Structure 1
């Protein structure tokens, strides 16, 4: 596995009329694979989703955060990813133990795992009263095309999204990453055609990462005159804690807490996002019950 740290770069091209992001997420995706014991096709689907979420998180500011839900009709069930402007990302799939035969191109059959019908829902907490919500139908299940469609329809920004995850024979993640190129107002038809040609002729994201290209080199492969504005480390971070789980238990109410104390003698709560288990014994549950009563 590549030991280079995961990082994202943000750049512009053509006098600010193109905005672009490129990211390496190898360590992040391998950490999620390890935590959730995902099989290769599930790893690829989850990896592509968290990679897109990482880049979309980099479009936010301050304390804003984002949640992505891919709700397809495939065996993997729902894919959930969350990210923020600090490069903190987490995610999980409903059914991690999904691995399918390779598709007709000899690649991992992500569309088969995700399904070709359903929706991608994006929720952004921008610090307003209500979060911003956007939803588009899944059009391919390969996810790159689906996020491209999301930008065009929900955010009215033409974009090209490339996502890739390469899984080793031992199930570890060899490379993972992606790019987003957004076309802003003011581009000529010739410039748009040239960008589309560059995107269309680009080797796969995984091929570029395997060659050892850094995210900024990947951007310049697409946009030779790209100006790199800044970069961001990307890390797996889960916001769960014992205190938060305690509050969740309090919210169950007195009856359910009494039942846990009488019947089970303990409670075990497992975080969906990081798979950490929080165990509360009878005495600790009694303290939580007293809290619920007060």
Structure 2
């Protein structure tokens, strides 16, 4: 089952659902995540993709959790084209399971703020924030959408991690009430949300993104719109890293030249870029020429 995001609407409601198992496993591999870190990062990346699905092409969105728990920060960038990348501050942090046998993502995230930044390409980015209410990611994004964007929503996210530390199932949904939703529709949606089973359980049973919507909205006439392929994809490149090095001070560049070698690692994907002494000398000359 490939990673996809499906958009759908019904009277008074829009709903997006996604399966993200493969791309979460790519993030786990790149960052060597513990099960708890994998669940936190996977949920954040999936949430970012679902929220970015509302954007126009060439726009982008960043979701960032800044909690006081041992995981530190969690950040995910997503685009409406279906690309996402992300990282967690301390990917090896793992906590004991909760009494119900679930991963303690909330304890690992802690208290703090969730911030969402929308990049429209028109002027400064648009930023909003709200307090972390549970650290479980889905509840926090639901709260953010209501508090910061005044949108009545329900976000469901899940990452099932196996004993081999790989994601067995990962995905989520976002359901939002539209202006024409009346009280009857709101009540029916609330009843449907009470009955829905965990999204990771659905995916583990072979349910795809369209099937998640069908199961959640079983009592509604749903109009399925588009399907988007999803993937972990980073925007880093050797050229971008060179631009970063060119922005360093002469003193810092001189130190790198003296060291004879530099290794720059991308936070988002873990890709490592190597620069030898002659390359560093060339970059320092270029930088000095434009100072």
TM-score range, shorter chain: over 0.9
- Name the structure 1 match of 2:29: 34
Q: Is 2:287 aligned against 1:289?
A: no
- Name the structure 1 match of 2:82: 87
CA deviations on 1:146-201 (whole Å, 9 max, x unpaired) are 11001111111100100000001010110000000000112121210110110111
RMSD of aligned alpha carbons: 0.8
Structure 1 CA distance for aligned equivalents of residues 270 and 47 of structure 2? 22
Structure 1 CA distance for aligned equivalents of residues 128 and 236 of structure 2? 26
The list of structure 1 runs, each at least 4 consecutive aligned residues, that deviate by more than 3 angstroms after superposition, is none
Structure 1 CA distance for aligned equivalents of residues 287 and 46 of structure 2? 40
Q: Is 2:188 aligned against 1:173?
A: no
- Name the structure 1 match of 2:117: 123
Structure 2 CA distance for aligned equivalents of residues 104 and 71 of structure 1? 25
Please report how far the alpha carbon of residue 226 of structure 1 lies from its aligned counterpart in structure 2 after TM superposition. Answer: 1.6
- Name the structure 2 match of 1:7: 4
Partner SS for 1:23: strand
Tell me the number of residue pairs that the alignment of Structure 1 and Structure 2 aligns. 287
- TM-score when normalising by structure 2: 0.97
Partner SS for 2:280: helix
Please report how far the alpha carbon of residue 118 of structure 1 lies from its aligned counterpart in structure 2 after TM superposition. Answer: 0.3
Partner SS for 1:283: helix
- Name the structure 2 match of 1:256: 252
**Structure 2 unaligned runs (5+)?**
none
Q: Is 2:232 aligned against 1:236?
A: yes
Partner SS for 1:179: strand
Q: Is 2:13 aligned against 1:18?
A: yes
Structure 1 CA distance for aligned equivalents of residues 206 and 255 of structure 2? 56
- TM-score when normalising by structure 1: 0.96
Match among 242, 260, 265 for residue 246 of structure 1: 242
Moved more, 216-225 or 87-96: 216-225
